[in-house]
Every structure is written in structure tokens, then in C-alpha cells.
């Protein structure tokens, strides 16, 4: 079994908002993403529930460096310097020096930053490795579109897809193309979906939230909804109208989806995409 367990980080007290995975590798159990430092106590409890701890792990695989996925990695490595962190080449500099990432996030979140995300600490360069090709028995491959620094991991019929396969909440069929600024690329995202399909996975593990076996239907829905949302913004819909249309699209668990991947943020990301083109 290549996925040993999932951990719900209960971000802001909400179930099924951010998930990380304990996965099997050629070097023993490893962690796929860390979540933010604000959820570190929950992560530690979750690992203990699976019979392990950060001190027993040797590797962290990162999907990308957004704070909800990798915000805690520097704090963790400081306390557990035996850890090797695998990340896309584009994202590696932001781990070693997260100051630019933090400045940008503080502009967006203001006084809420510390409560939401907690400490953002640097990772020593000696602990960082580039996730490309064969990584501990997994295939690391670029899956850009949601972020330029996104990478996914494939092994034995499963893809650890991070946000590259969108957001889907348990009990729902809707797949949301979370498209926050700054580097959404619609064409690249469609290419990423094709790259995931090419590996013929039987399951997709997504960070928000869960593991899904209806892979073709899931990816079809993502392709479709990405085009719907991108077309609306291209055609000039304003933020308020976009949010209202998204709330019509998401027919179940609407408030949960909006909390996990705010609709307004996707308008801003897609607006930036079209403006840059």
C-alpha cells in the first residue's frame, strides 16, 4: 500500500479543508506536504495515530510551496534536521529564503497572517532536493497550471496530485479549479491534466480533500470547470458576479468549497492570467 494514511489537519477547526498523506517510499514512510505551522500540533497527533512521528521520518515530499501545503516545513526541519525536503526546482529558492513569499502573503492576509499560517521559517539548503524523475521509488513530474512550482508523484496506480487535480470534497462530484494568484496558467493546467491521464492512475489523492477512484470522470470535470471559469473572466465578468455564478455551479457543500478555496481568489487569479496575456 503506497499511501499509508491521510491526516486531516482541521485547518481553522474545519474538517476536510487541508489533508496531508503518509506514504510509503524506498526509504520508509514519508510525508506528502506539511500544512501550515498553525496546524503543526494536529499533524503531530495525526502521525502518532498512525504509529509514527516527525522524528522517525526521513523525507518530506512537497507538492508546491503555497502556505497551506508547505508553510510548516521550515519549522519542522529546524526541529528535525534529519529530514530531506523534496520540492520542484522553481519552488526550492522560496524554501531556502521564504521572505518574499511571506511579504506577499502578509499583504494579502494582513493581521490574520499569524493566526492563519503561523511561523514561516527557512529550510537549510543542505536539506533541499529537487523533485524530478525518480524520487524514493515515486515518479516526480511537473504539474503546473495551479502553480508554476507544482509537482506530483506517481506510483503503483496512484497520483499524489496536490492541487493539480483541483479541489473535491467528500460526498461531492464537483471538482473546483482553485485558481488563486499569482501564476495561474490555464493552458498549462490542461496539459497537466493530460500528463496525469497519461500515467493511467487508478486513484487520485488530492489535498483538498481525499482519495478518489473515478479518475476519468474527476479529470473530465476539472477540465470542464476550468474552461467555464476561465471563459467567464475572459469575457469580463466582475468579481461579485463570478462569485455568485460559482455558488450556482457548486450545488452541494457550497460554503465548504468557498471556505477551502475561496471563489473570489480564483477570480483574481484568472483575471491576472488574462491580463498578462
What are the φ and ψ backbone dihedral angles of 170, each rounded to 5 degrees? -55, 140
The candidate with the shortest Cα–Cα distance to 32, out of 157, 259, 204, 174, is: 204
The predicted pLDDT at position 249 comes to: 94
Among 165, 188, 167, 177, smallest CA distance to 228 is for 177
Total number of domains in the chain: 1
Q: What pLDDT does 104 receive?
A: 87
Percentages helix, strand, coil for the chain (3-state, rounded to 5) are 45, 20, 35
pLDDT of residue 156: 86
Question: For residue 188, what are the domain limits?
Answer: 3-276
CA nearest neighbour of 131 among 43, 209, 65, 198 = 65
Q: What is the pTM of this model?
A: 0.93
**Helix or strand holding residue 212 (H, E):** strand 210-212
CATH number for the domain harbouring residue 52: 3.60.15.10
Dump pLDDT digits (tens) for 2-44: 888 999 999 999 999 999 999 999 999 999 999 999 999 999 9
Q: Is the pLDDT of residue 1 over 60?
A: no
pLDDT in tens, 83-115: 999 999 999 999 999 999 899 889 888 889 999
Amino acid at each position: 500500500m503506497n499511501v499509508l494514511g491521510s491526516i486531516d489537519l482541521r485547518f481553522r477547526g474545519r474538517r476536510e479543508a487541508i489533508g496531508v498523506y503518509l506514504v510509503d517510499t524506498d526509504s520508509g514512510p514519508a510525508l506528502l506536504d506539511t500544512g501550515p505551522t498553525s496546524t503543526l500540533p494536529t499533524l503531530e497527533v495525526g502521525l502518532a495515530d498512525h504509529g509514527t512521528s516527525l522524528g522517525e521520518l526521513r523525507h518530506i515530499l512537497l507538492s508546491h510551496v503555497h502556505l497551506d501545503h508547505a508553510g510548516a516545513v521550515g519549522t519542522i526541519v529546524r526541529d528535525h534536521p534529519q529530514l530531506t525536503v523534496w520540492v520542484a526546482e522553481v519552488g526550492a529558492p522560496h524554501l531556502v529564503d521564504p521572505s518574499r513569499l511571506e511579504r506577499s502573503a502578509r499583504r494579502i492576509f494582513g493581521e490574520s497572517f499569524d493566526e492563519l499560517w503561523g511561523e514561516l521559517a527557512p529550510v537549510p539548503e543542505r536539506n533541499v532536493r529537487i523533485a524530478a524523475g525518480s524520487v524514493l521509488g515515486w515518479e516526480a513530474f511537473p504539474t503546473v497550471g495551479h502553480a508554476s512550482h507544482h509537482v506530483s508523484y506517481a506510483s503503483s496506480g496512484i497520483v499524489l496530485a496536490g492541487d493539480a487535480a483541483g479541489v473535491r470534497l467528500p460526498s461531492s462530484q464537483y471538482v473546483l479549479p482553485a485558481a488563486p494568484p499569482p501564476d495561474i496558467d490555464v493552458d498549462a493546467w490542461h496539459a497537466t491534466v493530460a500528463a496525469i491521464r497519461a500515467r493511467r492512475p487508478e486513484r487520485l489523492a488530492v489535498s483538498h480533500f481525499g482519495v478518489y477512484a473515478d479518475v476519468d470522470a474527476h479529470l473530465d470535470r476539472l477540465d470542464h470547470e476550468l474552461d467555464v471559469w476561465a471563459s467567464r473572466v475572459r469575457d469580463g465578468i466582475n468579481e461579485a458576479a463570478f462569485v455568485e455564478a460559482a455558488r450556482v455551479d457548486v450545488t452541494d457543500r457550497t460554503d465548504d468549497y468557498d471556505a477551502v478555496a475561496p471563489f473570489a481568489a480564483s477570480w483574481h487569479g484568472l483575471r491576472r492570467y488574462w491580463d498578462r496575456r
